[in-house]
Structure 1
């Protein structure tokens, strides 16, 4: 397994903060960075997913032909898709079991789940098609959509590198200008994370991970960019602390360019997330020297991000139910967070233990 590194560390950090933030009202959510920024860990998670794609394309997948590159990336998309189906069904079972155990039928309405019990035939079709999404379980559908189009990104990088960022920016601007999003079904609405908008930060992560182009430029001028980004981060801190959010009524059209909208990844959120990356890039070395165990633990989570994300999503829902059943205070919330971190760490350790066992078995001679 690879050694702790900056990307795995920040991916682990994002996974922990997503776990905490998905338990509304928990005491510790006030200490996550969404309280001191316009953006949150969702942007960081998607940005790092794009970064990981570039490392794959420039690394193990570099010698692959277009055909095998497509197969590899679509295989990853299918793996994430299966993970989404499994955790969605487990979440539904958890809500159903809690409603029976606690004699609280209204739990069946939590997190947009009511359709699965009121209209199970169409809702299950929607689950399979990703058009029906539970609340707090809507990041992986975005990831599936991004991985489905990742071969286009990778092949554009190979054969039309100069067009990749302009096309991505144009799609993002189109989505914001006209409010274009994917519809949900059977519950009427739209995706919480619009893939047409969020693909931009995925592509930016992909491009900035490279040694050439804007990635190389960012590395050469990392310190000046960091100083330029610092005031933007501080403005985000101020906006978050005073709970500033522009009123859509007072804004010109198209309003999505000016509001702090998460669904469409508005410019303010995008700029905030990129500024945070610029300010904290390169800080892993100092953090790991000062807090080596923290660095190793978060890197462990980040190395096994899909399994840990699935575990964390279910733990967040379990934490919501626990707080409903037993109330929320500092002690119970601390128990939820500690238990969640232990289980997420165990999921990561088990994932690596399985890989080590598989590698050891493959080296042993056949009997």
Structure 2
């Protein structure tokens, strides 16, 4: 993606080293120059966080206001791609400039932060579930809906499995996936040092092997990860590859009007297919051979149709939100950008809020109006938290810079 200050019109990565630095196949050319921030990354990541919250708090009604019911992919793809892109920018630069050991140490520190955030979110969410179960007249519904029956039966063994990332309630699958993908990020950098395209090639090979041999990670009680890292790594690595210069080399293709209209056509076709899931009468318009070819569209292993849908969305979105887009400085975009800049905190807050809102809507047997109120209310809380984080960071940074350095030159005598 381009820097917000760039106006060259390239799509995935415009601002970086000059063209001469791209000739080396063993040295990545970062998509964004050092010291600059791509606000579009924050904007779309913030949007993904809002959409994830809405999908969780009202999975039956408000999802018609998200991308979930209009195609094969949803907000999860946006979040994972941008996570790979930004991780490669931040930690890739540190790795290639300061050395592999130091870069890996910084990546592992981030992995630890995500891991501890996941555990804290688990405790908060389990406390919410326990409280709702205690006061509700239908406790079995919430225990089954949130997939926490094992925890209430055997809390000790389940806590150990939680520490091993093999047990988690409903809607807590993204952070474990993020942890695993980040843990293997140093390997991506190591491959990129050998050849700039080697990480993407290795990722594609692993994806093909995953689909062919059903590679996956297991969960407690003989289950499997809802987001299979062996499949979803393709999107994460693709994001990292774009950040390391691959996106810039794709720009001539993405600038093509033909590619744009192919993306629009694919999005329309995907929308029609999803409509057949809600309007059975439309199924007759899909030939049998085509249905056998595309189904099942598997989210767990990251079906290739979901990847194609995400790419199509990206092509269209970046055509309407180019580098240097004035809307990035709009007050309306500011809340999205702030949420995107504190993605880990806001994601965890959104998951916690989504269950609270879901419980309220379920207990009150709410209609559409209350669903909208709860949805908007949760987003406002997320935006307020992002503003507080921004204020705190700014105030502490200013104080640290303004803090005078005092040298004690007095001589202590006895």
The answer to whether the superposition gives a TM-score over 0.5 is yes
Out of 307, 318, 343, the residue aligned to residue 381 of structure 2 is 343
The Cα of 1:4 is off from its aligned counterpart by 7.4
The answer to whether structure 1 residue 283 and structure 2 residue 336 are counterparts is: no
| Distance change in 2, residues 1:5/1:83 (3 Å) | same
Out of 124, 136, 140, the residue aligned to residue 175 of structure 2 is 140
Bigger shift: 99-108 or 345-354?
99-108
Alignment RMSD (CA, Å):
2.5
- Matched with 2:358 is 320
- Matched with 2:274 is 240
Which residues of 2 match residues 178-217 of structure 1 at below 5 A? 178-185=213-220, 187-210=221-244, 212=245, 214-217=246-249
Contact 2:197–2:241 (8 Å) recurs in 1 = no
- Deviation sequence 1:297-336 (CA, Å, 0-9, x none): 1111111111110110111111111111112212211221
CA distance in 2 between partners of 1:174 and 1:280 (Å): 31
Bigger shift: 40-49 or 229-238?
229-238
- Deviation sequence 1:14-58 (CA, Å, 0-9, x none): 100000001244532112111111111111110111111222145
| Distance change in 2, residues 1:288/1:85 (3 Å) | farther
CA distance in 2 between partners of 1:356 and 1:54 (Å): 25
For structure 1, the residue ranges without an aligned partner over 5 or more in a row are none
| Distance change in 2, residues 1:165/1:290 (3 Å) | closer
The Cα of 1:196 is off from its aligned counterpart by 0.4
Out of 404, 409, 414, the residue aligned to residue 365 of structure 1 is 404
- Matched with 1:220 is 252
Q: Secondary structure at the match of 1:294?
A: coil
Bigger helix share = 1
| Distance change in 2, residues 1:282/1:52 (3 Å) | farther
The answer to whether structure 1 residue 52 and structure 2 residue 79 are counterparts is: no
CA distance in 2 between partners of 1:54 and 1:218 (Å): 17
* Aligned residue pairs, count: 359
CA distance in 2 between partners of 1:265 and 1:134 (Å): 21
Q: Bigger radius of gyration, 1 or 2?
A: 2
Out of 105, 111, 119, the residue aligned to residue 71 of structure 1 is 105
Contact 2:45–2:79 (8 Å) recurs in 1 = yes
- Deviation sequence 1:235-264 (CA, Å, 0-9, x none): 11111222279999x848xxxx85200000
